[in-house]
Structure 1
Amino acid sequence: MDREPSDDTPALRALAAAGIEHTVTRHGRVRSLAEAAERRGVPPRAIVKTMVVRRGAGDHLFVLVPGDREISWPKLRALLGVNRMSMPDAEAAREVTGYERGTITPFGSATALPVVADERIVGRTISIGAGAHGVAATVAADDVIAHLHAQVADVTDPA
């Protein structure tokens, strides 16, 4: 049986269930953020990368990072009041989220995690991964922030 294209990943099902207006883009695998931006028809800064960060054993969170920026570890540590943080390896990230690297998104994650969104996405239309390689959702960042109860802060530096 064919599934509706709008519900073929846990992320897209979660977006639909949340009532968040979104447009799905399918472009297949890409090799770079620039290529993804080109295929999605958006500037690189409109792509939002979902990063899984480990604060401690069994303690993870998502950080939403604009495509033209990277996590500022000092800013993120200061925000969260911790001294050490790290990126889990690919297998640990998959265990926590249910998604493999390159497809991770807070929507439909196997584990509900706290979310920190870089302040630069506020008020913008963004393109966020939708749980499979080459599948993205274009959404209003403010809807994402509100639905995920994301903490908004300056947590990135230019890439």
Structure 2
Amino acid sequence: MNESWLQTSVTATLDIADIPYQILWHQRPATSIEDAAAQRGVEPKVMVKTMLLEDMGGVRALACLPGDQQVDPRKVREVLGCRRMTCVSADKVRQITGYTPGTVTPLALPVPLPVIVDPQLQQHDTVTISSGDPMAGLALNSSALFALISPQFAAICRET
């Protein structure tokens, strides 16, 4: 049974889909992926970092990757067949997703967007996503999350 004392559009989406989750409370709003991971008691690699990218023609997509990785916009561009992809500004993130930067998640978006997930995230049975609230994350089964969002899987991380 899901904990009901955090109500966001993300928890509502998971509740409707009957996907169990655990709330991972923060002591304060996180200032980075590393800070959020420490507050949640998890490794950054199990955190789903969700980035909004856009091409010059207005094609947008969400890139989901492990929290300890960086997105390679060229790889996202190749997946989508676009000319050039860049990360959008913080203001545009809020306008398009309804979330503030750092709380973006591939769930409960006001408009449908293509979602591309790096397959490294499939290596973990449990991942964490933003709850949509800066004071909490959510831990859930990765397979259940991916079944719900129906992403395209592609290697989109920068080579290290």
TM-score normalised by length of structure 1: 0.89
Cα deviation, 1:114-144, whole Å, max 9, x if unaligned, reads: 1100010014111111101121111122211
Partner residue of 2:23?
A: 24
What is the identity, as a one-letter code, of the residue corresponding to 1:16? D
Q: Which has the higher strand share?
A: 1
Cα deviation, 1:23-52, whole Å, max 9, x if unaligned, reads: 111113122222211111111111111111
- Checking the alignment, whether the CA contact within 8 Å between 2:93 and 2:100 is kept in structure 1 is yes
What is the identity, as a one-letter code, of the residue corresponding to 1:54? E
Aligned pairs, number:
155
Distance between the aligned counterparts of 2:58 and 2:95, measured in 1? 11
Q: Which runs of 4+ in 1 moved over 2 A?
A: 55-59
Identical pairs, percent? 29
Q: Which runs of 5+ in 1 are unaligned?
A: none
- Checking the alignment, whether the CA contact within 8 Å between 1:62 and 1:115 is kept in structure 2 is yes
What is the identity, as a one-letter code, of the residue corresponding to 2:21? H
Partner residue of 1:152?
A: 153
- Checking the alignment, whether the CA contact within 8 Å between 1:118 and 1:152 is kept in structure 2 is yes
- Checking the alignment, whether the CA contact within 8 Å between 2:53 and 2:73 is kept in structure 1 is no
The alpha-carbon distance between structure 1 residues 86 and 40, as it changes in their structure 2 partners (threshold 3 A), is: same
What is the CA RMSD across the aligned residues, in angstroms? 1.6
Q: Which runs of 5+ in 2 are unaligned?
A: none
